[in-house]
Amino acid sequence: MADWNPTSWTTKPIKQDVTYEDAEGVQTALTKLQQLPPLVTPQEIVNLKKSLRNVALGKAFVLQGGDCAELFDYCNQEMIEAKVKLLLQMSLILIWGANKPVVRIARIAGQFAKPRSSPMETINGVTMPSFRGDNINGYPADAISRRPDPSRLVSAYFHSAATLNYLRASLTSGLADLHSPLDWGLGHVASPSIKEKYERIVNRVTDSLRFMRTVGLDTARGIETVDIYTSHEGLLLEYEQSLTRLLRHPPNALPESDLTSPSTRKASIASTSGTPPPRGYYATSAHFLWIGDRTRQLTGAHVEFFRGLCNPIGIKIGPSMAPDELVALLDVVNPTKEIGKVTLISRYGAKKIADHLPAHIAAVQKSGHIPVWQCDPMHGNTQTTPSGVKTRHFSDILSELKQALAIHREAGSFLGGMHLELTGEAVTECVGGAGGLTEEGLSERYTTFCDPRLNEKQALELAFLVAGFYREEMEESNPI
């Protein structure tokens, strides 16, 4: 890609950019980031691309979830473990339901910056910059805290690194070991019939694990640990550019002149077994980055930056996206039509999905692109209560997912995953679900700094229901 480099985005118009007063501080922070090691490796990124290719071909399912806006304070043991355990439980249920491997991607270790509809807001009569995320400014409602601070860019790196370090260490130490008992926590389910249904699924999953252990099929690495990839919206391009690295040759590859003996040659081949990452530029702030609905302009800076990356990328698509615009966007970011390179994250809303998704699917099918189709049932279903609290209704979230499954099936397409804002904590931010949370109960533990998230019980329930949809679909297509 001769006409692209990591800085070419700076020649394009940009949305959601940040204006810093301290230009010298910005340059100091970016120089520091350029000198720091990558957060993830090209080999890990390539492994995820292989898995997402399988999702695009209908051979796997992707579960992506985590906080709406990650805070530096979320970098602690309990919160990291809670997210990992929740994603693990959800993925086990989905494996049972869809009868396919599940690719796990967390919105973690970098999901700090958030797009905002307005750069400024007025609080208690004082106008100040909007909170843009912990890597840009502070949440406290005062002019000093809200001033964009470039030193937060470096803080974001180190909080991401610490989160990743504990995530890797805990996974290799057995946090995700399926030999360990899992607490499915169904005590919140008030309806006996629903609870019985969920318990049947749990029993089937645990029976399958018990059977594998009995016959000795649980010795593979997949039973002892899992791969969990990291992701965030690639919003702050200065940060992403600073952590973009050029891979000139495969890791551990030795020049031909260094292969001086058979033993050296053998060691080199062994260390590069498998498919090495191809040459190119890798955004090493996360395994997977996505372009938001507000920054997907065809000739804009974000599309320009993303089109040169070797990473798998996501694109949020909503009601304002015309079908021909979607195809043109795919042609720009994936001109070779690499299968699974792009994940289309649809976010229409339960009331609008039927009006837009069929045309988007048809246009993509006609274009020859084979992306991963993923449903984000959160962002199009945000509401505000009469008292001014942002929330989402569990029934709307479920409805959009169910409609997406049906529309894809009718079109001969495959809905390969779901993208959720969730937390492993017992928050009260979305109403509904088997626990019966009402708008009056939102104030009990409403802790989000941005959009409302599913709590751990609601997220688990959603996994049960989606697994049930896939199970019913399989039974209908394969009647006994």
In angstroms, rounded to a whole number, what is the distance separating the alpha carbons of residues 224 and 88? 12
Predicted local confidence at residue 225, as pLDDT: 60
456-477 helix and 192-214 helix, angle to the nearest 10 degrees: 70
Measured CA to CA, the distance from residue 442 to residue 457 in angstroms comes to 15
Tell me the CATH class for 11-176+225-250+279-477: alpha beta
What's the number of CA atoms in the CB half-sphere (13 Å) around residue 320? 8
- Determine what percent of the chain falls in helix, strand and coil, rounding each to the nearest 5: 45, 15, 40
Binding residues for Mn(2+): 68, 379, 421, 451
Cα gap 63→105, rounded to integer Å:
6
Residue ranges of domains in the chain: 11-176+225-250+279-477
What CA–CA distance (Å, rounded) separates 370 from 151? 41
pLDDT at 181: 52
Cα atoms in the Cβ-side hemisphere of radius 13 Å centred on 153: 26
Angle at 376 between CA 372 and CA 380, to 5 degrees: 140
C-alpha pair distances (Å), 272 with each of 101, 144, 310? 26, 51, 19
d(CA 16, CA 168): 32
Taking a C-beta distance cutoff of 8 angstroms, is the pair 324, 37 a contact? no
Q: Which residues of 345-381 are buried (b: 16+ CB within 10 A; e: fewer)?
A: bbbbbbebbeebbbebbebbeebebbbbbbbbbbbbb
Question: Which residues are annotated as part of the binding site for phosphoenolpyruvate?
Answer: 107, 316, 347
pLDDT value of residue 198? 72
Residue 322: what pLDDT? 97
Q: Which amino acid is at 22?
A: D
Tell me what pLDDT residue 416 has: 96
Reference 286, options 236, 234, 341, 231; nearest CA is 231
pLDDT in tens for each of the 480 residues of the chain?
A: 678 999 999 999 999 999 999 999 999 999 999 999 999 999 999 999 999 999 999 999 999 999 999 999 999 999 999 898 889 888 888 988 888 999 999 999 999 999 988 888 888 889 999 999 999 999 999 889 999 999 999 999 999 999 999 999 988 887 766 556 566 666 666 667 667 777 777 777 777 777 766 776 555 545 556 789 999 999 999 999 999 999 987 655 444 333 333 333 333 323 334 578 999 999 999 999 999 999 999 999 999 999 999 999 999 999 999 999 999 999 999 999 999 999 999 999 999 999 999 999 999 999 999 999 999 999 999 999 999 999 999 999 999 999 999 999 999 999 999 999 999 999 999 999 988 899 999 999 999 988 999 998 899 899 989 998 888 776 666 665
Annotated binding site: 68, 107, 316, 347, 379, 421, 451
